[in-house]
Structure 1
Amino acid sequence: MAFYRYQFCDLVTDRPIADLDLTGVSFDRRICQPGTFSGSVAVTGTEIAEKVARVVGRHDEDLGRGPGRTVVHVWRGDRIWGTYLIWSAEPKSDNRGRITVDLAGASLESYLHHREIRTDLTLEDDDPVRLAGALIEVMEEDRPIGLVPVGPERTGEGPRRSAEPRSVSYRASEAITFGEALEDLSARDDGPEWMMRTAVRDGERIREFVVRDRLGQDRTEHVFAQPGNVLAWNYPADSTDAATTWRARGDAPDTAPDDEAEPVLSRVWTDARFEETGWPLLDRTVDAPGVTDLDELDAHARWWAGRSSGTVRFPQVTVRLAENTTLTPDRLGDSARLVLVNDWFPLVNGSPSFSRSWRVIGMEVTPASRGQGEDTATLIFEEPRRSLPGAEES
């Protein structure tokens, strides 16, 4: 059974504060968005109470400690599986006088959604990966938290270039957060993928903003099977937010008079296959703040048309994690093969009727505890990106 350690530190300086023994822990990591963290600590004496108070504080005057400025490094063995910013803490007592403190937080990506772009900003580059890194560098100019952009080493093939240099602009009056700006940058046809991780290099902890054209690798697969290390699975099909035609809405051009300040709209992108198979017309318009270029808006709409047209399927599976598992939260984006043999997916001619490979885009870990003697993880897969051979604009 793997050993977990929960090390609490200051967000800005990463100065250690205390290690706490937590129960009921659950944490997850995701690509391009924050993951969550929760856990509790039992206060069984004044010594433990003082230790917990150094982390969460006791009173309003405890400005040097508490939620909003404290992180927890989740160690699994000798590796950090995630760093989470503690956003809330709730000390409480039951009717028998037993005191516990519940902690809740989110991964470091959540910090990006608490930092606003407060000066007018325009960035231009022909490589979207560098644009993402530039946003982080701008954010780190004011009271940095030691976040280092780590992009791919562009070697022989050079940078991945857009058809034209890409320009992104943000107005201070819009109060857009860096997290929103990065999510918007990623939600485009050639948008980059990113995540934060805490790496240990020569005994020093380093916070990295890892950005790539596409995270992970598909040269080798992590295999999960039922019967075997698969504990549970679900495979929902959801059309709640789906559409068959997509349009992107940007901002009004800066040159437009106030009385003509209409937002720029992309063309409508439709996958002809949905019309051919009898789908109803389902329309969606998605916002692209700060964008006024028609080509950029077309790329934004085309991205959504390729990802969310028609029914969207996001399979999930809960698996046992071996102590030496090859799939860790820092390996998000890797491919994993799921092989199921059961009444829903029976054997056909002696072979599994369900054997498919997806990218892992999310991972929720539940460490072993009393009553659950093994580490488990719920994996969230990404359906393969649809090409748009029948895409048309109207």
Structure 2
Amino acid sequence: MRIRDLTSAEAVERALAEYDSTGGQAFRARYKFGSSTQYYLSHGGRLYDAKAIAGVAYGYQHSSDGPLPRDHFSGGEAAGSVNPVLRAMGFAVLDSHSRSVEAERAWRLTVWENLLARRDAAGLVTADTVRAVGAYGNFRGIWFDKSRTQGIHPAGVAVGLKHTGQHYPDDLGESGVLYHYPVTRQTGRDLAEVNATKVAAKLQLPVFVITEHGDLRDVRLAWVEGWEDRSSLFLVKFGEIPPTQVLDHDRSEEQPFQLEGNRRSRRNGTVVRRPDQARFKLEVFQRYGPRCPLSGIAVPQMVEAAHLRGDAEGGSSDARNGLPMNAALHRAFDSHLFAINPDTLTAEARPGGPSLEEMGVLYPKLTLEHLPHLDALRWRYSEWLRRTGREQGASAVR
């Protein structure tokens, strides 16, 4: 009983079919094999545990002997081991331990193809399907599999980001997610995970964003588009096309200012899609910091990115068309209860109240290091005057 006696491609095909019909976890459990940690048989857009498939295929070809137990043969590339035997029959065997960025990118896209092929009718996969190919591997939010990826970068490279939706449900959208840095008692581990995620962005390697649906998982191919350390946020973009630029610092002054233009749309006539909103929030935080300049609140979870020319009015997602505001003041601002005079840079309340003090404006004058664009401030103030029924330039009551 030797693995080199496996010569039937048909027997391998039968083992692959059994794996697909029972699922990888049940297949491995039945024949007492563990999950692959390095080598995978690639066939029809799907990945399989190379050693387990070979051992079971041996039993299909040599029925009198039965499946070859895992401790009777070796995996890997050595002569007489699994990989040369499978390749001799025309099967592709892939090494997941990449030795270059290009090879790692190709491996992750192969993993993505496998996950797509194994989706059910609802677009979900089992937890084992995700773990069996190394897209995720622990109980923490960020999985960076340092033992496998440190050959590409000594810090390791993030592979999977788990989003439970419990703590920050509003940050997950159709086009991407604002992913919060981990905060646990293991600060060293937290920092390592953050650094590994930044490495994925710098090397333009995709990651897998995973959300739980009971016992099943939704997996999205994604790219880390940028981050903001003061607010502890990553901007993660869904899709198969990598970002053209990493947003690792404030770049708001690098392009000409545009007051108008966004990708807002309606789906099914009712649901509003705002694909630029997450990026807008990150860039507003990068430009101004995650602190409301009018109230002084500096808790990132309580601060939002407010448009000056609103998204619904065709306002752009340029950070200079925005300001960080705490959630309550953002609502008041959008309700036109106050505005900011572009000449004095001072907040003014709507005549008849409520007053600035009642709304929680403790610091009426903007004293930011970087200010919004004057065109945006002027548009908003003019619109506010129009909505409050006054002429341009009239004094407002504070």
Q: Normalised by the size of structure 2, how large is the TM-score?
A: 0.27
**Structure with greater Cα Rg:** 2
**Structure with the higher fraction of residues in helix conformation:** 2
TM-score by length of 1: 0.27
- Report which of the two has the higher share of strand: 1
Specify which structure has the bigger relative contact order, considering alpha-carbon pairs within 8 angstroms and separated by 6 or more residues: 1
